[in-house]
Amino acid sequence: MAADRLDGLDLIRGVAVLGILAINLGGFAGPIAGSLSPHLPAPGSLADEAWFTVGLVLFEGKMRALFTLLFGASLLLFLDRAEARGEDGERLQLRRLGWLAACGYLHFLLLWWGDILFTYALAGFAALALRQARPGPLLIAGVTLFAAWHLAMGLAGLPQVRAEQRVLAGAAGPAETTAYRTQRAEDAAATARELAGYRQGFAAQVARRLRDQPGEPLRAAFATLGESLPLMLIGMALFRSGLYAGQWSPRLLRAVALGGLGAGGLLTAAFAAWAWRAHFPPVLMVQALAYHLALPHLLMGLGYCALLVRIGPWLAGTRLGRRLTAAGRMAFSNYLGMTLVMTFVFYGWGLGLVGRVPEHWLWPFLLGGWGLMLGWSAPWLARFRHGPLEWLWRCLTYGEWLPLRR
């Protein structure tokens, strides 16, 4: 049964790691602001708005939610398996998370600003304290914390959104309009400096991050802890409830899948239609992506999860399903591997395409990334026990060199 659970988790994780690339690609191809709106750093076309909207409705926030739910489940799976072998699962998990934090920091420092591994490690330390809790209390704690955090932060940001709406509608006073335009000009100048930095060589980029942003991973982790920690707790509750062990009825899986995808999809689509008419203004998009769309993100993440569990037995028997499962087993290697490939494609130490590819022309790069992940994972696992980084992480956790070849 444990092997079946792991296969189910890997299949879903494979879908999640492919979906995450669909959103991260905008961050690789342009500045941070480019992942918030199709009109940043420069005004986009109708095709750019359409491509951005597809990603917003199908992937943005949903894949991150799905991946975080799976991380919470994997925390418990690792503990259960270690303790079943008579090992100190908690000590090993602490070491495992410590090495993940180190890897996440290096990921940020050496390659890309958008690392999430450091955040996962810190949230994992907190989630580990609740490992003995029953599914019900875990679920209640996760949902309550998730709702409270996003409601409080969303309400705090509403005055900024309303001020922007007044300026764009021409209903703001001179002082408010001037302040808004001044802030947008400062943002544009900061974005230009950011792009110039990405066009530098590898050593210069590393030196700049070390000099200007040495604490950025820690800041980002605390800024998003109200999302990552409760999602992990919900993922732990789902694992303990038997979701991945096939203990949920088909009727319940179907209800969660249809309800989550239906309700979450409608809410996201309604927001996307409204934001499109306003041409995705920056303050609105920052607040919406971080806080206001939290509920549809969670609903669709749960819907995707239930759907994949429901069709998993059939999908796993197909060629695509086997490829997805292999990609999920190597999610760590694929996540960091895509960072290496895409930063080489876009940054100055590689092909230097950053800031030069329109939003609607990112789809060939996305398909290429998906092809790489699906193409190399299964052949690698046919010869080796683990992905390369999964193997290294395991060796560091256990403090010894473990066999890699089959």
- The tokens describing 348, both together, are 């100055």
Confidence of residue 142 (pLDDT cuts 50, 70, 90): very high
What is the model's pLDDT at position 3?
A: 39
Q: Which residue's structure tokens are 């600003």? A: 113
Q: Please check the confidence at residue 149 and state whether its pLDDT lies above 60.
A: yes
Contact 354, 346 (CB under 8 A): yes
Q: Please check the confidence at residue 61 and state whether its pLDDT lies above 50.
A: yes
Question: Using one digit for the tens of pLDDT, what is the confidence trace for 332-381?
Answer: 999 999 999 999 999 999 999 999 999 999 999 999 999 999 999 999 99
- The tokens describing 349, both together, are 């130490």
Q: Please check the confidence at residue 6 and state whether its pLDDT lies above 90.
A: no
What is the model's pLDDT at position 4?
A: 38
Please give the mean pLDDT across all residues of the chain.
Answer: 95
Question: Using one digit for the tens of pLDDT, what is the confidence trace for 196-235?
Answer: 999 999 999 999 999 999 999 999 999 999 999 999 999 9
Question: Using one digit for the tens of pLDDT, what is the confidence trace for 293-308?
Answer: 999 999 999 999 999 9
Could you tell me what percent of the chain has a pLDDT over 90?
Answer: 96
Q: Please check the confidence at residue 248 and state whether its pLDDT lies above 60.
A: yes
What is the model's pLDDT at position 98?
A: 98
- Nearest alpha-carbon partner for 329 in 241, 394, 395, 257: 394
What is the model's pLDDT at position 282?
A: 95
- Nearest alpha-carbon partner for 95 in 400, 393, 402: 393
What is the model's pLDDT at position 5?
A: 42
What is the model's pLDDT at position 245?
A: 87
For residue 163, give Cα distances in angstroms to 122, 172, 280: 35, 7, 15
Q: Please check the confidence at residue 292 and state whether its pLDDT lies above 50.
A: yes
Predicted TM-score (pTM) of the model is 0.95
Between CA 130 and CA 144 the distance in angstroms is 15
Instruction: Report the pLDDT averaged over residues 16-23.
Output: 97
Instruction: Report the pLDDT averaged over residues 379-406.
Output: 97
Secondary structure class of 214 (helix, strand, coil): coil
Question: Using one digit for the tens of pLDDT, what is the confidence trace for 154-184?
Answer: 999 999 999 999 999 999 999 999 999 999 9
Label residue 119 exposed, middle or buried (CB < 10 Å: 0-12, 13-18, 19+): buried
What is the model's pLDDT at position 184?
A: 94
Between CA 220 and CA 150 the distance in angstroms is 16
* Residue 354 CB partners (closer than 8 Å, separation 6+): 28, 29, 30, 195, 198, 199, 346, 347, 348
The DSSP annotation for 182-206 comes to HHHHHHHHHHHHHHHHHTS-HHHHH
Contact 231, 65 (CB under 8 A): yes
Between CA 369 and CA 380 the distance in angstroms is 17
Between CA 34 and CA 130 the distance in angstroms is 37
Count how many Cα atoms sit within 13 Å of the Cα of residue 53 in the half-sphere of its side chain.
19
What is the model's pLDDT at position 42?
A: 86
Instruction: Report the pLDDT averaged over residues 92-99.
Output: 98
Range name among 2-6, 65-69, 82-86, 291-295 with the lowest pLDDT average: 2-6
